[in-house]
Amino acid sequence: MKTHQFEVIVVGAGGAGLMAGLYASRTAKTAIITKLYPTRSHTGTAQGGIGAALGSEEEDHPEWHTYDTVKGSDYLGDQDAIEFMCEEAVQAVYELEHMGLPFDRTPEGKISQRPFGGHTNNVTGKPVKRACHAADRTGHMILQTLYQQCMKNNVNFFDEFQVVDLLMVNGAAAGVVAIELATGELHVFHAKAVIIATGGYGRIWEITSNAYAFTGDGPAIIMRRGLPLEDLEFFQFHPTGIYKLGILITEGVRGEGGVLINGKGERFMERYAPHVKDLASRDVVSRAIYMEIRDGNGANGQNYVYLDVRPESVNKYAALDGRKNKDGSPYTVTGEEILAKLPDIVDFCRVYLGVDPVTQLMPIQPTAHYAMGGIPTSKYGETILDETNATVPGLYAAGECACVSVHGANRLGTNSLLDLVVFGKHAGLRAAEFAKTVPFQPLPSDPTKYASSQFDRIRKADGKDNAFDIATTMKKVMFDKMGIFRSGKGMEEALTIVRALKQRYQHVSVTDTGKIFNTELINVWELGNLLDLAEAITVSAIARTESRGGHSREDYPDRDDKNWLKHSLAWVREDGKIDLKYKPVVITKYEPKVRTY
């Protein structure tokens, strides 16, 4: 066992982790621990853009952005935090630009922006260009740029170290325990402040746009240490994933004028969102696709529909919608423009589908995409202890694993990257500030005890069950019963199955007895995290007897502001039972209204 000491430890090197590390390292001795090489983080896959009301191409205001986000969140977002984020957004994007991020440019040389689902001009109700982008690899460029800045500023990195436990002493964070993948050795990182930025947990679902590494390690670790997780029932299904594979086709495709077409060749979004049509927010579009499929309008009678970005269709529908360029001329695109603006999408389709989107339709289906819920935090990234908003000293969280909550019940596209940058930065600043004011907590006497006990259990299990089977079953049942549409009965079934799987999981062992890169052991451990979260998610969802944002129940189809305008907090008790409590939503300016697009 090796021990390291840093003032601030950041767990995770995605957009949130790097931003936090970059800022914390300015004043405090900081290290970033990550289970993947930083550039392998999932932020790199984000395609469409980062939202900020720069107004480089047309009129836009942070207030509009705030309103859209509040509305997008189905009024579950905390409005003070949303306001804060949307105000900071503009400067955050400029800051990224100064760091070297190669945004696409307008003819005047400004940062180019494109329309995105749910982002509107508040006066006309029409989509507004708010997503700042670098082709369709904005996340990639953010990740690379932040990593480059970290190198420039000599931030310490522990690459391929997987954090497996959080150390808490006297109710405050004291560090983390991590396993060095290359040697299998446990390391203790003693710290004054810990920032968790481990990303989401979309691997719980069968069809997902999320990486293999998205196993919810951070939230699971937090939960095991007796801290709550917020709003777990809200998980976003992105409308357009590649059929069967779940690989994401960015909303930017629809931003550039692509439309959804059902098996009968109709543009069906007109019926569900008459104003913004294909650019309605994600929960709305996903449900619409699902309903089309259920009504037998899927393509070829299967469970998918088409996304159409062929120039002739784009031009046809743009003309019908009366979409105009800035100078008032009708909006048109050519095949080359599609290729230039969406090169990676075109590449995915060619490689994985053998389909050329410039001339053919893309088969798509909704795909598990984004965790709105997670570790509850204040708008400065401080982790919240309970329903009174008390905070845990020295513990911070940011990024997809955190729940500020700016996304409420449904996240708008482009707001996650924004969330990473804004709250990553503030978490970093706060943590460094905090570290300057307190001494190190003493380490517990045997800091690695809990972590090694988890691995020992796996090593010693009887090996009667197969992890791959358990994972497959969990993913399937979660996608079927805990997907876009849910019902009390279905969710109960899911819960029973997940609990049974957790029992079976106790028998899973490993054949690899080595220490060096024992990925089998790690994968089994990660499966444990997914199962724990799946259970907590299902329990939280069953309790919420309404439909809101990403949580749609067939047995309770309406939003119920009277009883449910509140965040849920889930704790796992010593005996493994899950406790739920609730805390109010912060409402400043925008009273909940019926949500239509």
Partner 1 sequence: MEVTIKLFRYNPEKDKKPSYKTYKLEALETDRVLDLLEKVKGYQDGTLSFRRSCAHGICGSDAMRINGFNRLACKTLVRDTGAKITVQPLLGMRVIKDLIVDMEPFFEHYRSVKPWLINDDPEPEKERYQSVDQRAVFDDTTKCILCACCTTACPSFWGNEQYVGPAAIVAAHRFIFDSRDKAAAERLKILNEVWGVYRCHTIFNCTLACPREIQITRAIGEVKMALTTGKTE
Q: Which does 152 bind (CB under 5 to 8 A by kind): ligand FAD, partner 1, none?
A: partner 1
CB atoms within 10 A of CB 385: 18
Query: Quick one: 25 or 410, whose CB is closer to partner 1?
Result: 25
Considering only residues 229 through 258, tell me which ones interact with ligand FAD, judged by CB under 6 A: 248, 250
- Pairing of the two strands 2-11 and 30-34: parallel
Considering only residues 22 through 41, tell me which ones interact with ligand FAD, judged by CB under 6 A: 33-36, 38, 41
Site string for ligand FAD, 306-345 (x = CB under 6 A): ----------------------------------------
Q: Which does 15 bind (CB under 5 to 8 A by kind): ligand FAD, partner 1, none?
A: ligand FAD
Tell me if 375 sits within 8 A of 401, measured CB to CB: yes
Helix (H) or strand (E) holding 144, with range, is helix 138-152
List alpha helices for 506-593, DSSP H.
519-543, 561-564
Residue 201 C-alpha from the chain's centroid: 8
- Work out how close the CB of 243 gets to partner 1 at its nearest, in angstroms, rounded to a whole number: 10
Size of the site for ligand FAD (CB under 6 A): 45
CA atoms within 13 A on the CB side of 116: 30
CB atoms within 10 A of CB 523: 16
Query: Quick one: 53 or 585, whose CB is closer to partner 1?
Result: 53
130 is catalytic: no
User: CA 20, CA 94: separation in Å to the nearest integer?
Assistant: 17
Site for ligand FAD contains 550 (CB under 6 A): no
- Residue numbers of the site for partner 1 (CB under 8 A)? 36-37, 39-42, 44-45, 93-94, 97-100, 102-111, 134-135, 137, 140-141, 144-145, 148-149, 151-152, 182, 211-213, 245, 247, 344, 347-348, 351-352, 354, 466-468, 510-512, 514-520
Q: Which of 282, 544, 559, 595 is catalytic?
A: 282
Helix (H) or strand (E) holding 282, with range, is helix 282-294
- Work out how close the CB of 572 gets to partner 1 at its nearest, in angstroms, rounded to a whole number: 27
What per-residue string of b and e applies to 472-485 under the rule 16 or more CB within 10 Å gives b? ebbbebbbebbbbb
The pair of structure tokens assigned to 353 is 């589908």
Site for ligand FAD contains 198 (CB under 6 A): yes
Considering only residues 133 through 162, tell me which ones interact with ligand FAD, judged by CB under 6 A: 138-139, 162
Of 10-18, 78-86, 547-555, 576-584, the window that binds ligand FAD (rule: CB under 6 A) is 10-18
Query: Quick one: 132 or 280, whose CB is closer to partner 1?
Result: 132
User: CA 346, CA 329: separation in Å to the nearest integer?
Assistant: 27
Helix (H) or strand (E) holding 434, with range, is helix 415-437
The pair of structure tokens assigned to 319 is 């003309």
Q: Which does 163 bind (CB under 5 to 8 A by kind): ligand FAD, partner 1, none?
A: ligand FAD
User: CA 13, CA 22: separation in Å to the nearest integer?
Assistant: 10
Considering only residues 392 through 431, tell me which ones interact with ligand FAD, judged by CB under 6 A: 399-401, 413-417, 420
Site for ligand FAD contains 377 (CB under 6 A): no
- Supply the DSSP symbol for 275: T
Closest to 260 (Cα-Cα) out of 292, 283, 235: 292
User: CA 352, CA 350: separation in Å to the nearest integer?
Assistant: 6
Catalytic residues: 282
Residues near ligand FAD, by CB under 6 A: 11-17, 33-36, 38, 41-43, 45-50, 138-139, 162-163, 197-200, 209-210, 213, 217, 248, 250, 370, 399-401, 413-417, 420
